[in-house]
Chains A and B, each alone.
Chain A
Amino acid sequence: QLQLQESGPGLVKPSETLSLTCTVSDDSISSNIYYWGWIRQPPEKGLEWIGSIYYSGSTYYNPSLKSRVTISVDTSKNQFSLKLSSVTAADTAVYYCARGVPFSSLDYFDYWGQGTLVTVSS
């Protein structure tokens, strides 16, 4: 069964860049069907989509975060990555990676990683 696993630092200093990687197991990230996305959830709050990427490298980002977000893919490692620059305490959240299923228009998410907490603090 498909598994996704987030990895990266759990603590990032303000103004620095948050970097996370999602490793996909038991499925090829090069599938020409799916997108691969990042979603975050601040403590005790709701979900916010950050952005998504296709295996070819085509991306689309949440307009509210677009200026600070870069998502990339490494098909040789079956991984995709998130970089969020100029972080503040407001970026403290559990970050999830997930598989996006394009349906009719854009994507819903059918498989999710377990999530990783990233805290922004000096």
Chain B
Amino acid sequence: EIVMTQSPATLSVSPGERATLSCRASQSVTSNLAWYQQKPGQAPRLLIYGASTRATGIPARFSGSGSGTEFTLTISSLQSEDFAVYYCQQYNYWLTFGGGTKVEVK
């Protein structure tokens, strides 16, 4: 099983600031990585696939980068609606999710 480790567990950021979330794989997943956003009581929402391709309708302030074992999700200027939990998911070998990063208001 490929273990996905996200850091930090909680990120405190002020509105308008930049947020950088990390996801590390226990072995290479090439670029087979997706990012999701989940708000309380809601299903996850796809943000990024292929490590860096934004899904349909996702604002340009969300960007993904990385390959192999190290990945980053960057939110360039946090809006009020961006405070949520973010998960990474690898789909290179079976499917596994990271433990999540909660982005909260500082």
Contact = CB atoms under 8 A, between A and B. Distances in A.
B89 A108 contact: yes
Interface string A95-122: 0101001011111111011110000000
Interface residues of A, number: 25
B50 A62 contact: no
B74 interface: no
B65 interface: no
B69 interface: no
A47 interface: yes
B97 A46 contact: yes
Given A101-B49, A112-B43, A115-B43, A106 B98 contact: no
B34 interface: yes
A48 interface: yes
Interface residues of B, number: 26
Given A49-B95, A96-B44, A104-B30, 5 more contacts: A62-B95, A105-B91, A108-B91, A109-B89, A110-B49
Interface of B: 1, 30-32, 34, 36, 42-46, 49-50, 55, 87, 89, 91-100
A103 B91 contact: yes
Interface in A63-122: 63-64, 96, 98, 101, 103-110, 112-115
Contacts of A101: 49
B46 A46 contact: no
Contact of A47 (B44, B46, B55, B93): B44
